[in-house]
Chain A
């Protein structure tokens, strides 16, 4: 099983916060910017790729027990989002790439691990 820390170098991700959660196991990915949809459909252990930076992102990641969050297109987490990520130990990662590109790369990475 891959861990969050295993994708950081391969995907060239920035770690914004939640370092204590880098050992979390990663089962797959989920891509959506509608938080209501993520709340309904994301599965435990997935990495969530989004452009949303509001603190509710962390509320939902915690509720669904997601492995990590990847913010796309150089989006930075808001201050209280960062704080909550630290508290929850769910890492927020970042990339300059867009959702399509980073999701494709993560998909391949996970596929090759199987």
Chain B
């Protein structure tokens, strides 16, 4: 077993709020500098920067978890990850059906561009990504799991766009591989404030939610497992077969 450093919540330039410097190439370079072994690419309601980042990650021995940060109908942000391009593109189709067609206002929200490994612009996303899908959290969770994915409500203790702000309490019976707590609070402090999570059965992770290069890897989660792979990460999140996560 080895401990891998993972920052599973990173935005790229495709997210309107993501800095223009957040190209796949620069993100991988920065992740390398930060000694990260695993990163998650999680743009708002889009998966379109995942495959290029994964290709670049492979060359640099970084595992890229491909996913998105989706906004549910209740305006809860949730991370979703998929094992391969096919599942990922099926999830992209689901997003395309459920994302309302509101045109992005670049001056107000920022650019939403897809680039290649050399930072050439391939596509400008016209639809505003910073809005909610028209489906609720339960249906999205089911879709992610139907596609064999990993579902993690994001920064659950944040005062906005979180499970706790939007839905008050964790819905009983919600199926999630883990919960992400915000980077502004340590795990022990969080558990002191929220005793109810102590024996909750969800793993806790912390990530940077980086929108700027300098924030990548600022906060990360340790994954103790045999190798860096989607399947091993799933085991570690569940705390099964000797694998585990270490978030401080």
Residues of chain A touching chain B, judged by Cβ–Cβ distance below 8 Å, are 34-36, 38-39, 52-56, 59-60, 78
* 23 pairs from A and B in contact (CB 8 Å cutoff): A34-B165, A34-B166, A35-B165, A35-B166, A35-B167, A35-B169, A36-B159, A36-B164, A36-B165, A36-B168, A38-B168, A52-B74, A53-B136, A54-B74, A54-B136, A54-B138, A55-B171, A56-B167, A56-B168, A59-B168, A59-B171, A59-B172, A60-B169
Give the shortest distance, in Å, between B92 (CB) and chain A (any CB). 25
Give the shortest distance, in Å, between A50 (CB) and chain B (any CB). 11
The residue of chain B having its C-beta at the shortest distance from the C-beta of A40 within the complex is: B168
A35 pairs with B168, CB closer than 8 A: yes
A56 pairs with B171, CB closer than 8 A: yes
Residues of chain B touching chain A, judged by Cβ–Cβ distance below 8 Å, are 74, 136-138, 159, 164-169, 171-172
A56 pairs with B165, CB closer than 8 A: no
Q: Which residue of B159, B165, B168, B171 has the most chain A CB atoms within 10 A of its CB atom?
A: B168
Contacts of B168 in A (CB 8 A): 35-36, 38-39, 56, 59-60
Of A34, A39, A54, the contact of B137 (CB 8 Å cutoff): A54
Q: How many A-B residue pairs have CB under 8 A?
A: 37
CA gap between A56 and B164 in the complex, in Å:
11
A59 pairs with B169, CB closer than 8 A: yes
Give the shortest distance, in Å, between B170 (CB) and chain A (any CB). 9
Of B136, B164, B166, B167, the contact of A78 (CB 8 Å cutoff): B136
Contacts of A34 in B (CB 8 A): 165-166
Q: Which residue of B164, B166, B167, B172 has the most chain A CB atoms within 10 A of its CB atom?
A: B167
Besides A54-B137, A54-B167, 5 other A-B contacts (C-beta < 8 A): A34-B165, A39-B168, A54-B171, A59-B169, A59-B171
CA gap between A59 and B172 in the complex, in Å:
10
Contacts of B164 in A (CB 8 A): 36
The residue of chain A having its C-beta at the shortest distance from the C-beta of B160 within the complex is: A34
CA gap between A54 and B169 in the complex, in Å:
12
Of A38, A39, A78, the contact of B138 (CB 8 Å cutoff): A78
Give the shortest distance, in Å, between B221 (CB) and chain A (any CB). 25
Contacts of A36 in B (CB 8 A): 159, 164-168
